[in-house]
Amino acid sequence: MMAMKAPRVVMIALLMVLLVIATVSAQEEQPPRHEPFSFAVFGDCQPYGREFSPIMERIATEVGQLEVPFVIGCGDYIDGSANQTTVRRQWNGFFTAIQPLQANRTIPVALAPGNHDIRGIRRNAEIFCEHFRKLYHSFNFAGCHFIILDSETIGADARVTGTQLQWLKQDLEEAKDARFIFVAMHRPLFPVGANIGYSLDKHPRDRDALHQLFVQSGVDAVFHGHEHLYNHREKDGIHYFITGGAGASLYAEPQNGGFHHYLLVKVDEDAFTVDVRRVTQ
């Protein structure tokens, strides 16, 4: 576990996000603003044409036993395809893999789409929305603001631009008094491994403008997937996490973050901690 201080005290935990068909935005009850809580984050469990890794089920089982009000996903839950029948079958496989998450109660999820989930195909984006309502959205919980972004916009992937960017600016303005602001999206702003050049760094001017928007708006942490490893860096007071270890083939050696894992984020009144929780087969 690591502790970090910025303008707001921040500690970070690693946790995998398993999805439930109930969405976070559907929650009706809001706890008091300063009430402590935890949430889970995960990314990249796509099986590449195989059966889902047992890692996914183990994460689902563990997270399902935690006292978390919701989980967040950072994309690439399926392998994806141009064939919609195949895509629907893959989503059914994913839902089966994460069933243990719902063993004790319904845990809502907020999922950012990944490049494998969409593959630049409009119908795949529509299927995603059939299950999870929206490609990007935001919600509040216990005085904190959560933003789910879409880095896979058809015709404008690896960037946040156009209508989504205008929405984001307005959303951040309205959230300026939030206790903490957390963002989740698939492709990293600052990749560290095999996806350098295939993440938001593909469009450096747009990437830098997005980072500055986060800085100016008081964003505390950003969670990504895409690279199948764990990484954390702090830049201008923002904590950037890559959590792509929910079962997909790993991109790095263990000492460089190449291990299966999920994140558990614990939020207190004026600080949050992030635990990197390793999972083995």
Mean pLDDT by 10 residues, the chain (281 residues): 42 34 60 94 90 91 96 97 96 93 89 98 98 96 97 97 99 98 99 95 98 99 98 99 97 97 97 97 76
CB of 238 closer than 8 Å to CB of 216: no
pLDDT of residue 21: 45
Residue with tokens 């083939």: 249
Report the SS3 class of residue 54. Answer: helix
pLDDT of residue 18: 35
Nearest to 8 by CA among 243, 234, 258: 234
pLDDT of residue 7: 38
pLDDT of residue 245: 98
| CATH superfamily of domain region 2-278 | Metallo-dependent phosphatases (3.60.21.10)
CB of 14 closer than 8 Å to CB of 277: yes
pLDDT of residue 4: 45
CB of 158 closer than 8 Å to CB of 120: no
pLDDT of residue 9: 37
Nearest to 23 by CA among 123, 130, 116, 97: 130
pLDDT of residue 104: 85
Enumerate residues 6+ apart whose C-beta is below 8 A from 225.
43, 44, 73, 74, 75, 76, 112, 114, 186, 242, 243, 244
pLDDT of residue 105: 87
- pTM score: 0.91
pLDDT of residue 121: 98
